[in-house]
Structure 1
Amino acid sequence: MYAGMIDLDELTPNRESWLKTEVNPGETLLKFTNPFIIKNVNAKMPPVKPLPKLKKEFKKSSSLLADTSDERQCVLDLISPPRMWTDKDGTTWMQQVSPQPTHRCQIQLLREKVDNLLVETGARDFGICPRRIIIFQQAFDEIIRQVTISCAERGLILLRVRDELKMTFTSYKLMFDDLLVYCDKKITPLEESLIPLEEEKQSLEKDIQKIKDDIDALNMLYDITQRRIAEKRHVENESHKDLVKAHIRTMLQLKKLIAVVSKPVPQGSEDEEEEVVKRLKVHKIPVPEEKALKIAHEEMRRKEKRIRRMKIKTCKVLRMKKMNEKLKKLFEKDLLIKMKTPKESAKKIDSVDDITQMNK
């Protein structure tokens, strides 16, 4: 690279993505002369005067710079130092900033070349971009060269402006680096404090995932058990319905059987069972087995016993009522006879117990 050109590594040490496409230093926008051979490498080059600092020095040196081409070349060398390299044969070559003037068409070509370089290198249109900075620095050096050829004083002023811009840019870069170091010092303990939080977060996420898996497994188990319970309930309902139907059928058969068997057997029949079987055949009732017949006979006997008991109880109750009525009438008559005074007749008889006590 030419002198005064900022290296990308120094400009953006932490931004490797910007270093993928660099501007080729051999294809600089600053115009150089054709390379020529240097016979004596150790030969002393003419000393370059330092930049004038006062206005008086400008006035003194302006006449010399405007007249002599050597002084103009010295100012051009301040823009960028001469290039020197050695071939395999050992010959040393050198290039200097070109002192040839520039025409209007060459300036238009320079503008097109700048636009093409911005597109080829992928420079950004806005914000900080090292590629765009390098391209515009080279273009600014070329403009300084063109101005220096026509007027050396203007070239010196532009050189000072360029150096001042580089100094401000470098100071901003140093401030930025210091800020990065300060931020690193502050961020490092924060990052270290975040490590246990990240671990806790990961453990909590694992626990959450485990709980979700357990919930899914329990939901699946719940669905399976619900299905099994529904199937079991359906089977039980079907079997219960069949059992109820069978009980209803047997109950109807037993009712018919009891109705037939409960009829009194006519006199002169020798065997009751034969008579019952005949009745069943007449009513088209299937003849039951011995157990069914026994059950029917037992049920019929129980019913008869219940009826007899109920009749006996009703008779006893009626008798007791009649006896109570008779006793009340007798007690009332005896009381009226035994009463001597009207005061005693006015007494109220509350219950049968009072009457019995008075009789005694």
Structure 2
Amino acid sequence: MEKQQLWIQCVSSTPAKREDVILLQENLDKKLQQRQARETGICPIREELYAQCFDELIRQITINCAERGLLLVRVRDEIRQTIQAYQTLYESSIAFGMRKALQAEQRKTDYNNKIKQLETECQDLSKQVEKIESTIEDMQRQDQEQQEHEEAKHKDQVNFLKNANKVYKEELEKFLTGANVKK
């Protein structure tokens, strides 16, 4: 079908001449340029045109020798199967690569979330440490103040008792010296 018209091409049974092969090559080059086929890499247009050219070569060779034509058909079919296997392998490797990339991205996201969680936990623990250290400092200060207060109280009590002891000693000495004087 071309522009909504059906074209039928009949296969010629006349053997190919050298001019036919040269014409086939020229037509191939012209069609490659007309359809803007890429010169390198994977190009479905180029692939289709070369397949048509190869089919024409097989037709021309089959007219001269049917056995060669059948062998070339087998070679063509084997090449197509090999290319199909490579395409399947390529597509599955692309899918595998995409799965691995998605898994890596998911792991990266999971690790980033875990890092954020651990950082938050570290901050919370640091705040707890600061709070506990502050409590310890307060307790040490209160203990120091209480100890100083107890020491001052004890010192006052010792001074009071020393003074009382001194007073008692003086009274005892007066009493004893007063008793010695009376005898």
Length-normalised TM-score, structure 1:
0.27
From 172, 175, 193, give the equivalent of 2:86.
172
Task: Say whether 1:131 aligns with 2:25.
Answer: no
From 31, 35, 45, give the equivalent of 1:121.
35
Identity %: 40
What is the alpha-carbon distance in structure 1 between the residues aligned to residue 80 and residue 12 of structure 2?
23
Give the superposition deviation at 1:111: 0.9
Give the 3-state SS of the residue equivalent to 1:155 in structure 2: helix
Task: Say whether 1:141 aligns with 2:51.
Answer: no
Is the helix fraction higher in 1 or 2? 2
Give the superposition deviation at 1:174: 0.8
Distance 1:135 1:95, change over 3 A: closer
Aligned alpha-carbon RMSD (Å): 2.9
Aligned positions, number: 109
Q: Which amino acid aligns with 2:97?
A: C
Higher relative contact order (CA 8 A, sep 6+): 1
Q: What's 2:66 paired with? A: 152
What is the alpha-carbon distance in structure 2 between the residues aligned to residue 128 and residue 94 of structure 1?
30
Give the superposition deviation at 1:128: 2.3
Distance 1:191 1:123, change over 3 A: farther
Task: Say whether 1:101 aligns with 2:15.
Answer: yes
Bigger CA radius of gyration: 1
Unaligned residue ranges in structure 2 (runs of 5+) = 111-183
Deviations 1:220-251 (A, max 9, x none): xxxxxxxxxxxxxxxxxxxxxxxxxxxxxxxx
What is the alpha-carbon distance in structure 2 between the residues aligned to residue 94 and residue 118 of structure 1?
22
Give the superposition deviation at 1:195: 7.1
What is the alpha-carbon distance in structure 2 between the residues aligned to residue 186 and residue 195 of structure 1?
14
Give the 3-state SS of the residue equivalent to 1:140 in structure 2: helix
Deviations 1:197-217 (A, max 9, x none): xxxxxxxxxxxxxxxxxxxxx
Q: Which amino acid aligns with 1:122?
A: Q
Distance 1:141 1:174, change over 3 A: same
Pairing of 1:223-302 with structure 2 (within 5 A): none
Deviations 1:306-336 (A, max 9, x none): xxxxxxxxxxxxxxxxxxxxxxxxxxxxxxx
Q: Which amino acid aligns with 1:158?
A: L
Give the superposition deviation at 1:123: 1.9
Segments of 4+ in structure 1 off by > 6 A?
Answer: none
What is the alpha-carbon distance in structure 2 between the residues aligned to residue 121 and residue 190 of structure 1?
41
Q: Which amino acid aligns with 1:150?
A: N
Q: Which amino acid aligns with 2:54?
A: F
Q: What's 1:162 paired with? A: 76
What is the alpha-carbon distance in structure 2 between the residues aligned to residue 112 and residue 173 of structure 1?
30
What is the alpha-carbon distance in structure 2 between the residues aligned to residue 122 and residue 158 of structure 1?
28
From 184, 188, 192, give the equivalent of 2:98.
184
Give the superposition deviation at 1:96: 4.7
Q: Which amino acid aligns with 1:174?
A: T
Length-normalised TM-score, structure 2:
0.51
